[in-house]
């Protein structure tokens, strides 16, 4: 009886200390996502879709997919690759409605060989990088270059982003290397999104862990 009780207590401890990951993509569908193409004649299922357990978009027209749920204070992990010609995309952070092409958000750049650049993107947003305060309107989208030369893998191979959103600070790690830090972010909560901007791109292993 004592052994059984001990086993139950141990299982409870293990469960309490278990995996706290929240997967933003279930590998099957995008039911928990909002898909927004610039051209409203494009069907959502043709713009962002699931293939072989990955999220894929052809990258055209311009647009994005975002989570319906909002998040704050988390570490995000996502892997990406360009299966064909690499052009441009981005990981959208603290996305705030209303939905429009230049929706309010911060962005970890995914333009080929520029992953790790940071973009302030949307009305009313600001952030401090390298002791400079950057603000943005719908048409003014400041881009702050990454700290180090590109450390991306060649097109066709997988890369990883680990992004830490902690209060008003955002850190961008590309393939394990810290490439950018933004502080004093005026927006600290919102959806998480994937951008379509020019070429086919695939995403996998997409999850967050609370801080």
pLDDT of 188 higher than 80 = yes
Mean pLDDT, range 32-46, rounded to an integer:
95
pLDDT at 5: 47
Please tell me the distance from the alpha carbon of residue 125 to that of residue 141, in angstroms, as a whole number.
10
CA within 13 Å, CB half, 203: 30
pLDDT tens per residue across span 48-87: 999 999 999 999 999 999 999 999 999 999 999 999 999 9
pLDDT at 104: 96
Task: With cut-offs at 50, 70 and 90, classify the pLDDT of residue 184.
Answer: very high
Q: How far is the CA of 38 from the CAs of 15, 60, 97, 109, 195, in angstroms?
A: 44, 9, 15, 19, 11
- Give the domain ranges of the chain: 20-210
Looking at residue 31, what DSSP letter applies?
A: T
Nearest to 25 by CA among 162, 154, 191, 204: 204
pLDDT at 8: 46
Q: Which helix (H) or strand (E) holds 59?
A: none
pLDDT of 6 higher than 50 = no
pTM: 0.90
Find where tokens 């309107």 sit.
137
Give CATH for domain 20-210.
2.60.120.560
Angle value at C-alpha 84, between 122 and 36, nearest 5 degrees: 30
pLDDT at 37: 97
Rg (CA), the chain: 18
pLDDT tens per residue across span 104-140: 999 999 999 999 999 999 988 999 999 999 999 888 9
Nearest to 109 by CA among 131, 129, 93, 132: 93
pLDDT tens per residue across span 145-177: 999 999 999 999 999 999 999 999 999 999 999
């Amino acid at each position: 009886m004592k052994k059984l009780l001990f086993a139950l207590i141990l299982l409870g401890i293990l469960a309490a200390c278990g995996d706290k990951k929240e997967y933003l993509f279930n590998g099957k569908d995008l039911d928990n996502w909002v898909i927004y193409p610039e051209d409203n004649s494009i069907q959502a299922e043709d713009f962002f879709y699931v293939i072989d357990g990955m999220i894929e978009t052809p990258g055209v027209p311009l647009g994005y997919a975002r989570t319906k749920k909002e998040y704050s204070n988390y570490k995000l992990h996502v892997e990406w690759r360009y299966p064909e010609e690499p052009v441009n995309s981005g990981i959208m952070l603290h996305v705030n409605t209303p939905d429009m092409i230049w929706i309010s958000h911060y962005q970890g750049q995914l333009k080929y060989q520029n992953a790790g650049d940071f973009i302030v993107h949307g009305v009313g947003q600001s952030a401090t990088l390298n002791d400079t305060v950057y603000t943005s309107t719908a048409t003014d989208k400041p881009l702050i270059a990454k700290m180090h030369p590109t450390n991306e893998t060649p097109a066709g191979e997988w890369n990883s982003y680990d992004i830490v959103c902690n209060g008003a600070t955002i850190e961008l790690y590309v393939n394990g290397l810290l490439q950018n830090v933004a502080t004093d972010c005026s927006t600290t909560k919102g959806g998480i999104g994937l951008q379509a901007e020019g070429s086919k791109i695939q995403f996998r292993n997409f999850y967050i862990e609370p801080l």
